[in-house]
Each structure stands twice: as C-alpha cells, then as structure tokens.
Amino acid sequence: MTTTNRIMLVDGMALLFRAFYATAMSNYFMINSKGMPTNAVYGMMKHLFTAIDTYQPTHVVCCWDMGSKTFRNDLFPEYKANRGEAPDELIPQFELAKEVVESLNIPNIGQAGFEADDCMGTLSRLYREDSQVFIFTGDQDMLQLLQPNVSVVLLKKGYGNYAEYHEGSFFEEKGITPAQMVDLKALMGDSSDNYPGVRGIGEKTALKLLIKHQTIEGILDNIDQLTKGQRNKIEQDLDMLHLSRKLARIHCEADVNCSLEDALFFIDEEQMGRKFDELEFKNWQKNIVGI
C-alpha cells in the first residue's frame, strides 16, 4: 500500500540526552546571558532538523517521559533504579526543549505513568493503517514495534548517521520477528532498565531458544527438551521471567492521541527565529536549519 503521509514520531528524551552528553563531556554547556544552559536543546534541534531533512516527513510528533515513575515501577520497584539523577545543567532543559518544540508547531505528547516509548507505540498503532510511520529514537526496545508500515530509525554516533530497520531487515538480522523481541528481553533481561530476566541466560541462548520454540510458552511447554542447565535457570527464575516480559513490552494503549491535522509539519520561520534568538543559539541558520 502506498501512502502519502510520512509521520515521524520523535523520542524527545533520546535526542535530548544524546545531545547533552555529546557536549557535556567537555563541560560545554552553552550557558546564555540569562544563565540558562542550552547545549542539550541546541543539539536536539540539530538532530531533529537533520532527520527531517533526511526523511522529509509530512507530519511530526515529539513524545516525552512525564516524570520518572511509571506503571513499570509499580510492577517492579527496582525498574531503572540504577540510573542516577539527571545532571543539574540538564534539568532546566527538559521544559525548555518542549517550549522550543512548540515554537516549531510540533505537538509535545506524553502521559503521566507511561514512558515516551509507550506513547510512540500507541501513536504508531493509530497512524499505521493509512500512513508510513518512522519512529526516531536511540532505543533498541522500539524494534518490537516494527510493522509493514512502521520503520524504526536508530540514532548512531554523530549527526545524520542512522540504522534504519524494517520488519524484514530485522528478521534477516536476528532470525526472530519484532514481536518475539519482547520474549527475548524477558529471557535475557535488560541491564540499562535494571531488570534481570533469567539469570545466566544471555542473548545467544535466548535467541536459540526462541528460534526453536517461538515464544516463552513454547519454551515452557518443551522444557524437557532443554539442557539441564537451561531448565534449572528458567525454573528458578520463572516469576521474574513473566515479570520481565511485562516490563519489556511497550504498552500501546496509553491514553494519548494527536490528530493528523495537529501533527502536520509546518514551521513558522519568524516564530522559530524569535525563539532561537531569544535563547542566543549561535549560528543557528547554518548549524541547525542548514540555510
């Protein structure tokens, strides 16, 4: 099916964090005359405009985490507990980034209790029926959302370097379907999100088991076919296996919506220029917008 709508769902958190740490390593926080650090927002805009130039979307939506606690913390209090507080120079840039996105007439979407991932999953399900959707993120978890009309564009190091995934290319690379990725994460856990999965089972074993048995249910139904070591590990961590699957699955029923009309990509250049000048973005015409 060919569609004219090209909708880009942007992971605002991923872009902002990536941009911040790219310059924070050298203490380059770009503090303006009002004492406001702007390095993360400046870099985020550069990532955003580079992606827009590359993918030429007709519609753009930016999704955000709304606070650090989500339904996953209710399920597992240690979820993401290994992450420290955001650096002082980054904290004021969260709201600032949303202001700047708003000045570009791009909707900011988020829901308390859910992550940006859940919002992007919900919107991709909403839009994919009659539009081509590009999910723009740094998070491999989003690969579970791949569908015939949904691509995932992963940010690589630098600007304009992407790994673009489609349903078919993911299967060729991993040997499993995008939907099976939830079970993969449940088995091997996720150290960055701080849930263990089944202790002692890594990606290689998890992939092998899923290629043979398709799902966690398939593995459990055929547990007598597993090696003694694999069987013991799974039986010992059975509760955590089921819990890890709930944590790994992107929740595509968040209470968010954004009409195509609101998401239509149209920049008021005067409004954008005023905002960029107000924040004292240097050389933004050349470095961000590319004019």
Q: Express each pLDDT in 198-246 by its tens digit.
A: 999 999 999 999 999 999 999 999 999 999 999 999 999 999 999 999 9
3-state secondary structure of 226: coil
Of 61, 155, 71, 69, whose CA–CA distance to 109 is shortest?
61
Query: Are 131 and 266 contained in the same domain?
Result: yes
Question: What sections of the chain are H helices per DSSP?
Answer: 12-24, 39-55, 71-75, 91-103, 116-127, 167-174, 181-188, 203-213, 216-221, 228-236, 238-248, 260-263, 269-278, 284
| pLDDT bracket for residue 1 (50, 70, 90) | very low
Query: Are 281 and 182 contained in the same domain?
Result: no
Q: In the structure encoding, which two tokens stand for residue 65, read together?
A: 């985490």
Of 126, 145, 130, 132, whose CA–CA distance to 11 is shortest?
145
Residues 6+ apart with CB under 8 A from 257: 123, 126
Give me the number of domains the chain comprises. 2
Query: Are 148 and 275 contained in the same domain?
Result: yes
List the CATH number of the domain containing 264: 3.40.50.1010
Distance, CA of 95 to CA of 240 (rounded, Å): 36
pTM over 0.75: yes
Distance, CA of 61 to CA of 265 (rounded, Å): 9
19-64 pLDDT per residue, tens: 999 888 777 889 889 889 999 999 999 999 999 999 999 999 999 9
Provide the domain limits for residue 156.
6-169+255-285
C-beta of residue 178 within 8 angstroms of C-beta of residue 145: yes
